[in-house]
Chains A and B, each alone.
Chain A
């Protein structure tokens, strides 16, 4: 198996070298090592390789004003973009590539401006990977396993098979992609181009069945989201029957095609391990991974540049060159008159502009408090005390606080996000208890509030205090099972939204249902059997820090 993956890697690189522009490129997922150096050395496209650093600026990537040359020449000099000179771009540390850069690269690739991208992915964990849009746009995902075999770079033995008409081949590949649950239509297109490139590599003008088999094995496995059900191929894919009927006259060439079943076996053997376990979660993990962009946005107050302002250099101030030049530009003729003998730009200290960023990302603690009868009986008072202590701490770190209570049949936002300690305390002490436990409604209100505040650049954290006996469903009906189910659904939505959450169990005995809820939220769970407010505060502080 591991040798096969190495052989396929060799084949992928050879095929990519034939036509990197049409195939988009490849993701090479390997740690930096002598093995990887050998793999890279084996990649020999006609165009030169050029490194594209992941922190490349837009000016360098797309072309813009070349400041150095502009100042030297005294007139505007524009630099050409990265892809102006034809080259295959090598993207090192691609797993750290920002979605914005990946999106730009994909756009350029779609417009036919790039000549292929080789992304070097050094990720270790599964969620450390090249941005989705980039890995979707390139043909291959090369991730050889184990040690490099001695005979590398030997290509896999491919039985050329029979020639296949183009239309047939496209139909086969598309069908196969559909059966592996590959939604993107780029995949079959790339596979078809791979098959053609492999035929070219073999010195043939026509595509043979062996080419198709290899192309499917190279392009599909890492994109697959489902394993085709071998027992029921007919109902899943009605088209092949139609196809055979339509092309009844061409039955000879049909017979020459590699059987779809065989193709499926070839690809299925290469499916990444653990696919089956992750299948059910594909959606949710992906949604959670959306926090890659989300987190960035959450802390966006940090990166948001403010207009630069006049200032002095020194310390940690960074000069905003463009703004400085802009400030100096209008004065040049005047200053030139005063100092005709000095060459170059005449910049005075008063022209210096420094960069400023808004650095702080405000945290928002959303308390969703169970004020139902059962909780009130237990220890609503304690919970109030704990929140008050937390408020003091929140005040110290200038966090925002919001308060939601749920009881009876619905949740109520007692206090929208605020920093006012006094107001919060007042509302909290007036918090009445009694009624049912609409846990789902409480979670939903917290989620809505979290989404709103995240949009305003805050980093929300939801803290749910409850005794866990949810008995009111979202629609207000008193039905225990529905209520629990609703709570779970909302919890999943919160998780998908990427909001941090913490469940504090304030019942007398730890509730397994709440532990479950904590897991569903992908957040912490703290049981507080008979604790005082101080212990609870410590627990929350520790959980938030960790």
Chain B
């Protein structure tokens, strides 16, 4: 397989790139949903992100990427305590995937050849401590969505099937992409994504030409092209690691908390998850930018990402929900 297209070589699409970086800074934000037209670089960005993420420490052979032996499940029957470095997992959840593949199932190989009852971990186990990427998330079968909703919420995968009774940690950042023209997403699933981004093809012709030029250069000589952007990528990667270390010290004052609450009230978003995500993401952004305090500037930047998918849909407002959020932000933070 080819090396992925470098993250920093993606032209424009700043919202999408920022959102992805923020989830890398603070996985607790809870994922990104990228909705937009075809051919706007949604999948490219996700695959590029994988190359940026810092490595994680994992007990050797652990099926759920646990950091310590005690976190490893018993059924894995691990022999060693050796810890090795692994790249952060970015797991693709293909459309039409079966439930077995997602949650894990009886290991047929061992059952058939040795007559043993053993658990074969699924995609959720492999995505633990990493990313779970669903392309065309709006076309995903309902019963798989139901499964994901539960696991994404509880951070734990419970398997009760074929005489197996197993549970293991499954904490991952959910990244979904899709084209809204092909189907809507259920509000419950929408809510599980921390940030949402609407991407559009660039309207500026010069920008479009640059996109095609870079892509063409990449298609011709992937190695040279990747090398050319390696330095930029390394910079972003270092900034992410740096921000992770600093995020605990970033202060969010009472005034900012008030602003968050006021914004969400004015927009009428359901539940309190809006405020929480807004605050977390703003803090992550402040850390990434090297600021010591969260300011209104950060809120302004984050509000459309964190809130636009939590509004009740208004069929009469054709301007789109991010415009609505921006309008409210202007009035509330005026």
Contact = CB atoms under 8 A, between A and B. Distances in A.
**A and B are partners in one complex rather than unrelated chains:** yes
A110 B43 CA distance: 9
Interface in A133-148: 133, 136
B209 A136 contact: no
A493 B38 contact: no
Contact of B38 (A99, A111, A136): A136
A255 to B, nearest CB: 20
A60 interface: no
Nearest to A136: B38
B115 A330 contact: yes
A304 B316 contact: no
A192 interface: yes
B162 A183 contact: no
Contacts of A184: 37-40, 201
A474 interface: yes
Contacts of A322: 108
B315 A490 contact: yes
29 contacts: A76-B109, A99-B136, A99-B139, A111-B1, A112-B1, A136-B39, A173-B212, A174-B212, A184-B37, A185-B212, A188-B208, A189-B212, A193-B219, A238-B205, A242-B206, A287-B181, A293-B182, A293-B183, A304-B142, A304-B143, A307-B161, A325-B108, A325-B112, A326-B108, A329-B111, A329-B112, A330-B117, A331-B115, A333-B115
Nearest to B188: A455
A62 interface: yes
A291 to B, nearest CB: 9
A311 interface: no
A239 B205 CA distance: 6
A215 to B, nearest CB: 13
Interface in A216-240: 237-240
A132 B182 contact: yes
A173 B161 CA distance: 55
Contact of B2 (A112, A175, A242, A474): A112
B94 interface: yes
Nearest to A98: B96
Contacts of A75: 109, 112-113
Contacts of B117: 330
A184 to B, nearest CB: 3
A22 B219 contact: yes
B266 interface: no
Interface string A274-297: 000000000000110010011001
A107 interface: yes
B112 to A, nearest CB: 5
Contacts of B151: none
Nearest to A187: B39
A457 interface: yes
Given A242-B206, A326-B108, A170 B315 contact: no
Contacts of B212: 170, 173-174, 185, 188-189, 192
Give the 3 A-B CB pairs with smallest separation, nearest first. Answer: A184-B39, A329-B111, A239-B205
A58 B144 CA distance: 16
A76 B141 CA distance: 29
B106 interface: yes
A345 B143 CA distance: 33
Contacts of B143: 304
Contact of A103 (B112, B136, B206, B213): B136
A489 B39 contact: no
A297 B183 contact: yes
Given A133-B38, A189-B216, A474-B316, A290 B181 contact: yes
B215 interface: yes
Interface residues of B, number: 54
Contacts of A192: 212, 216
A308 to B, nearest CB: 11
B94 A294 contact: no
Contacts of A101: 96
Interface string A316-349: 0000001001100111110000000000010000
Contacts of A457: 142
B201 A183 contact: yes
Nearest to B211: A185
B312 to A, nearest CB: 9
A65 interface: yes
Nearest to A107: B135
A178 interface: yes
Interface residues of A, number: 73
Interface in A429-485: 444, 447, 451, 455, 457, 474
Nearest to B94: A104
A447 B315 contact: yes
B181 A103 contact: no
Interface string A61-90: 010010000100011100000000000000
Interface in B102-140: 106, 108-109, 111-113, 115-117, 135-136, 138-139
B277 interface: no
Interface in B1-53: 1-2, 37-41, 43
Contacts of A22: 219
Contacts of A242: 206
Nearest to B201: A183
B95 interface: yes
Nearest to B179: A133
A171 B209 contact: yes
Contacts of B162: 326
A31 interface: no
Contact of B112 (A70, A286, A489): A70
B221 interface: no
B196 to A, nearest CB: 18
A38 interface: no
B186 interface: yes
Interface in B166-219: 179, 181-184, 186, 200-202, 204-206, 208-209, 211-213, 215-216, 219
A486 interface: yes
Nearest to A188: B212
Contacts of B209: 170-171, 174-175, 239
A170 B212 CA distance: 7
Contact of B215 (A107, A189, A332): A189
Interface string B209-253: 101110110010000000000000000000000000000000000
B181 A297 contact: no
Nearest to A293: B183
A104 B96 contact: yes
B118 to A, nearest CB: 10
A48 B203 CA distance: 40
Given A293-B183, A304-B141, 12 more contacts: A103-B95, A132-B38, A133-B136, A133-B182, A185-B208, A185-B211, A286-B181, A300-B142, A329-B115, A333-B115, A444-B315, A490-B316
Nearest to A104: B95
Contacts of B206: 239, 242-243
Nearest to A236: B205
A65 B109 CA distance: 9
Contacts of B316: 474, 486, 489-490, 493
B213 A167 contact: yes
- The winner among B115, B142, B212 for most chain A CB atoms within 10 A is B212
B162 to A, nearest CB: 6
B154 to A, nearest CB: 21
Contacts of B39: 136, 183-187
A415 B169 CA distance: 42
Contacts of B109: 75-76
A100 interface: yes
A175 B112 contact: no
A286 B142 CA distance: 23
Interface string A383-423: 00000000000000000000000000000000000000000
A277 to B, nearest CB: 20
Given A188-B208, A455-B186, A330 B136 contact: no
Nearest to A323: B162
Nearest to B101: A58
